[in-house]
Structure 1
Amino acid sequence: MSKAKRYLLAIAFLACIYVQAQEIEPTTPEETEFYEPVPPKVAPGKNGSAPSDAIVLFDGTSMDKWISSKDSTAAKWILNDDGSMTVKDRTGDIQTKQNFGSVQLHIEWKSPEQVQRDGQNRANSGIFLNGLYEVQVLDNNDNDTYVNGQVGSIYKQHVPLAMASVPTGEWNTYDIIYHAPEFDKGQKVKSGTLTVIHNGVLIQDHVEIKGTTPYIGWPKNPPHGEGPLRLQDHGDNSRVSYRNIWVRELD
């Protein structure tokens, strides 16, 4: 069990004690104060850099922590001199070698400066939590599409609260809180949730994940445990770039 989960369980235990004690009104301030468990210290990063307890998945120096989603060979995307990586058209999705459950994810992305195509074919990519649940990446600047498939949507499920993209060709930031669904004996007993902050703007507010996010058909709920973070090659010369990717495990 992780330190974070032990900390949350201890808090829950103390909360139960606190509720039981409410029958007698406290008469001193000390009766409503407690000093354990002490939260772990985390040194925050600066300007989007990873905090001290994060797992850095891409820092611009190599793609060693990523593999091809289709055959588990080395990731074939383009590693750029500016510390980013760019989708190499029709080489397929890439995913992390490491699997995760619930996480806080920080990731930065940008569309190419030169606009090509329109609708879903303009700088389309996606970020898949657990390899299954997509947060849409798309250049929506002066580019309308179906709103449950626009930038920042939980694809085909949740329309974003706002369209908060920066100008085409500039770097966007997603900060995502993902709580994985729970399964028992092959059945989902608790839905997962997603919170997405796009360039500092809340666009998905603890929304329920209905299941997988397919292009065609209804969401499905196959039982699963931990899974990879997957980045999409949409196969349309999207040329989307990514940089500064890190996660903090939440359980």
Structure 2
Amino acid sequence: MQKQLLTLLLLLIAGAMSAQITDPKATEFYEPVPPKVQAAPVTTPAPSDAIVLLGKGADASEWTNGKGGAVEWTKEGDALVVKPGAGAIQTRRKFGDVQLHIEWRSPNEPNKEGQQRGNSGVFFHGRYEVQVLESNGSDTYTNGQAGSVYKENPPLVNATSKMGDWNSYDIVFSSPVFNDDGMLIRPAYVTVFHNGVLVQNHWEIKGTTAYIGLHKYTAHPETGSISLQDHGNLVAYRNIWVREL
């Protein structure tokens, strides 16, 4: 009982502190800067027990525009490309703990900088984001660069390919668990390999990866959609598959 009361008190304090934060810059930090490493994307065919979410011909039948309708993004060969203004896309199926493979390519936008350069994101449950960004030749806050748990934890290293080249993420995500009263029993965890290099090592996610304010949990089902963000940049995705754990 004492532990539950302490947890509730901490959540109330975090909520009060978060309510006072209105400037997004308050949750951005720039140091330490993850060192750059050279790495190549890992193109891995789906194993036999995987669910292919995006394969040959960029068949988007596993995806919806978020309202149950057809995806409006652009097809380019085996890739789907963000159509700015069309909105995020999300899987029709809902998942809990998963291993996800996904490949992405930033557009050629040399005149853009920071968060305006190849911005997108991979979301679990529509809440927990692994950032997609062209971070090879542009600087931004480190907990918002490619491979970061957005506005929480920067990557261990910067393994981003140069602008216009493909990148790969291999992500192991464990969903948070709540009891019947909505209390957090187990937080979410994420491990991320970027181009085959470990950049998030079983990171404990602190809550919904909000743009403004401290991150905190709100109870939700143990399964949810995987979604890809439309942030107004022509980011491409291909070879997406998932294994339920």
TM-score range, shorter chain: 0.7 to 0.9
Instruction: Work out the CA distance in 1 between the residues paired with 2:214 and 2:71.
Output: 30
Q: Is the 8 A contact 1:148 1:154 kept in 2?
A: yes
Q: Is the 8 A contact 2:190 2:203 kept in 1?
A: yes
Following TM superposition, by how much is the alpha carbon of 1:47 offset from its aligned partner in structure 2, in angstroms?
Answer: 4.4
Rg larger in structure: 1
TM-score normalised by L of structure 2: 0.80
**1:65-119 per-position Cα deviation (integer Å, ceiling 9, x unaligned):** 11112x22111100112x1010001110000000000000000001113424111
Following TM superposition, by how much is the alpha carbon of 1:220 offset from its aligned partner in structure 2, in angstroms?
Answer: 2.7
3-state SS, counterpart of residue 135 of structure 1 = strand
**1:113-143 per-position Cα deviation (integer Å, ceiling 9, x unaligned):** 3424111000000000122100000001221
Q: CA RMSD in A?
A: 1.2
Q: Give unpaired runs (5+ residues) of structure 1.
A: 1-45
Q: Give unpaired runs (5+ residues) of structure 2.
A: 1-41
Q: Is the 8 A contact 1:60 1:85 kept in 2?
A: no
**1:214-235 per-position Cα deviation (integer Å, ceiling 9, x unaligned):** 1112213111220000000013
Q: Does 1:203 align with 2:186?
A: no
Query: Which of 99, 108, 115 does residue 104 from structure 1 map onto?
Result: 99
Q: Does 1:76 align with 2:81?
A: no
Higher relative contact order (CA 8 A, sep 6+): 2
Q: Is the 8 A contact 1:66 1:97 kept in 2?
A: yes
TM-score normalised by L of structure 1: 0.78
Q: Displaced runs of 4+ in structure 1, greater than 6 A? A: none
- How many equivalent residue pairs? 201
Q: Does 1:184 align with 2:160?
A: no
**1:133-162 per-position Cα deviation (integer Å, ceiling 9, x unaligned):** 000000012210000001100000111100
Instruction: Give the match for residue 95 of structure 1.
Output: 90
**1:174-223 per-position Cα deviation (integer Å, ceiling 9, x unaligned):** 00000111110211111110000001110000000101011112213111
Equivalent positions of 1:84-233 (< 5 A) are: 84-185=79-180, 186-225=182-221, 226-233=223-230
Q: Is the 8 A contact 1:76 1:88 kept in 2?
A: yes
